Amino acid sequence: MHNNTFMEMVRLYMENKNIEPLKRFLTKLPAADIVEGLKQIDPNEQTVVFRLLPKDIAMEVFDMMEPSLQHDLILSFTNDEAVSFLESLEPDDRVHLLDEFPAKVAKRLLEQLPKHKRDATAVLMGYADDTVGRIMSPVYVDVKKDMTVDQALERIRAKKNGGDHVIHTVYVTDSSRRLEGMLPLSNIVTASRTEKIDNLIKGKDFYSVKAHDDQEYAARLLQELDTVEIPVLDKEDRLVGVLSVDDAMDVLQEEMTDDMFDKVGLLDLTQKESDRSHKLIRGSFWHVFAVRVPFLLLTLAGGMLAGAVIDSFEELLEAFVATAIFIPVIMDMGGNVGTQSSTIFTRALVLGQINMRRFLRHWGREVLYGFGMAVALGTLGGLVAGFWQGVPELGMAVGVSLTLTITLAIAFGFLVPFILVKIGFDQAAGADPIITTVKDLTGLLIYFASVSFFMPHIIAAA
């Protein structure tokens, strides 16, 4: 479904207070469409829509959301709603979400969870970032080797009643919870009820990972084994959890994306830009003020200086009024191409299409191509100005000014955001104001210098 259609339907139902039809509308949509739709509506509307989703759909939608949207959605809930929702998550998913919250908020929510869920979450949060222990699930089914199949099945049923996780593998442990073997659930179900579990184990060889192992290593091992989960052991070889294929694939996808950005030197940049964008969209007024206003003050000062430049050529303007007609053309063309160039740079940088170590090569190509466009636009503008006013010299001044101003604006459009990125400033907020200020001043100086050069009789008359 198109995002605009989703937004229109949600607002129509909400304005008319037709909650039941809205619920039916939402339940017919794929989870992916709901996620995309939620991005397009206001935070208050997001909360209402999410609350209307059936639990199974809500969990699927939440799992597909970006961390920032998950974070904002949970914070919009009442305290009881937030705690209840956290309870419904798997321990590893709960940890992943709590990591996104400020420490005080995470601690408050964690303390309100039931003890067994709080303990399971705290265990995972005790492991270092990027380790297997951080993403494993502490939910698994284990049996003892001296149990009969009948006893094992009773334990499996008891474990299953305590949650809705899917059981693929049953783990055989000793009295100290050390892992001694693994059995597919089907092997137990089809065995004789009086058979000992120890007799079903075909061998003591099995793969496992340690809780302190690197996430990516464990995920790749699971991928190579082509299995749905792998046991996770602590330093004493005791079973503490399992790593599922779903969590492993998430790790590999994240690592692949990070590696791609890292190769072009963009990993830290991408994370910084994401944080800055989130704060500018969701942050407080004073944060937005502090980031944006200093650059706008620079533009204000530049505008005043541009006024001073025009004032210094007042006599020239009085001597030949037609000169003033083309000031907006010179300034607007420079501003538009400068903004266009900076936007192209930013998009290419984020997409990894610009190598920061080879910036001069990219910049040289942009300036060269920009000069070609500037010559074409300058020639056209100069011809129009000359024929319009019947003064060929003025046309030449306009043409040369457009050519030089556009070329400089394109050069600055690539150079300014690059410099801001290198020195750690927010280029999204700062590039255009700086480019506008520099372009206005240089554009006016170039134009009046060109008029003075090509039309010296005006200077003499002034």
Q: What is the pLDDT of residue 461?
A: 54
Determine the Cα–Cα distance for residues 172 and 327; give it in Å rounded to an integer.
Answer: 83
Class of domain 3-129: mainly alpha
Where do the H-state alpha helices sit in 320-423?
A: 322-325, 327-350, 359-389, 392-423
| Domain 267-461 is found in CATH 1.10.357.20 | yes
Q: Are 230 and 135 in contact (CB under 8 A)?
A: no
Q: What is the pLDDT of residue 356?
A: 67
- Hey, what amino acid is at 283? G
Which region, left, alpha or beta, applies to residue 86 given φ > 0 means left and ψ of -120 to 50 means alpha? alpha
Q: What is the pLDDT of residue 293?
A: 52
pLDDT tens for the 462 residues of the chain, in order: 555 677 777 777 777 777 788 888 888 888 888 888 888 787 778 888 888 888 778 888 887 887 777 777 887 777 787 778 788 777 777 777 777 676 777 777 778 888 878 877 777 877 887 788 888 888 888 888 888 888 888 888 877 655 556 788 888 888 788 888 888 888 888 888 888 888 888 766 778 889 888 888 888 888 888 888 889 888 888 888 888 887 777 777 666 544 444 444 444 444 554 555 555 455 566 655 565 555 555 555 655 665 566 666 666 666 566 777 777 778 777 777 777 777 777 767 766 666 666 778 888 888 888 888 889 888 988 898 888 878 888 889 888 988 898 888 888 878 887 787 777 666 655 567 777 777 777 777 888 888 888 887 655 554
H or E stretch including 241? strand 239-244
Determine the Cα–Cα distance for residues 167 and 4; give it in Å rounded to an integer.
Answer: 41
Where do the H-state alpha helices sit in 238-326?
A: 245-263, 267-282, 285-312, 314-319, 322-325
Determine the Cα–Cα distance for residues 431 and 410; give it in Å rounded to an integer.
Answer: 12
Q: What is the pLDDT of residue 264?
A: 40
Determine the Cα–Cα distance for residues 109 and 89; give it in Å rounded to an integer.
Answer: 13
How distant, in Å, are the alpha carbons of 15, 49, 58, 425, 426 from that of 19? 10, 10, 16, 46, 42
This prediction has a pTM of 0.45
Class of domain 142-261: alpha beta
Q: What is the pLDDT of residue 44?
A: 76
Q: What is the pLDDT of residue 204?
A: 63
> What is the residue extent of each domain of the chain?
3-129, 142-261, 267-461
